[in-house]
Amino acid sequence: MVLGSSEHSDDADVPHSVAGFIVQLSRPSARVRVHLTDRSGVDEALAALCTSRNPQLKQDGIRLLRALGKDCPVNQERFKDLAASVTSQGGEGTAPRIEEVT
């Protein structure tokens, strides 16, 4: 999966674009959001984004985490530990941005 791949670690444009695309794909319904996360490697890729040293990628991860959890109890439960971890790390406005997931 491109989002968690170290292959693109020097080029933030690729994972940034992919994360934005997935956010757009997640908009139609909770069923779509569950389908998007029903793949192997999604947890690791999302965690890699949310904990990235690159501030843009970290923000993309948080935005994606929020989008995937919106009105979707299945994903809220699935990613609750990641959401709690991101919230506990602090950062500018991090907690309010993922409130839908926690």
SS (H, E, C) 12-41: CHHHHHHHHHHHHHCCCCHHHHHHHHCCCC
The residue with greater pLDDT, 87 or 22, is 22
The pTM of this model reads 0.77
Q: Averaged over 26-48, what is the pLDDT?
A: 93
| Of residues 5, 3, 34, 4, the one with CA closest to residue 20 | 3
User: pLDDT tier at 50 (50, 70, 90 boundaries)?
Assistant: very high
Identify whether 82 is part of a domain. Answer: yes
Identify whether 102 is part of a domain. Answer: no
Q: Would the pLDDT of 44 be above 90?
A: yes
Identify whether 26 is part of a domain. Answer: yes
Identify whether 76 is part of a domain. Answer: yes
Identify whether 67 is part of a domain. Answer: yes
Q: What is the pLDDT of residue 88?
A: 80
Identify whether 46 is part of a domain. Answer: yes
Q: What percent of the chain has pLDDT over 70?
A: 77
Identify whether 51 is part of a domain. Answer: yes
Cβ-Cβ contacts under 8 Å for 6 (sequence gap 6 or more)? none
Is there a contact between 2 and 15 (Cβ–Cβ < 8 Å)? yes
State the total domains in the chain.
1
Q: What percent of the chain has pLDDT over 90?
A: 65
Identify whether 36 is part of a domain. Answer: yes
Kindly state the helix (H) or strand (E) to which residue 86 belongs, with its residue range.
Answer: helix 80-89
List the domain range (segments joined by +) for residue 47. 2-97
User: pLDDT tier at 10 (50, 70, 90 boundaries)?
Assistant: low
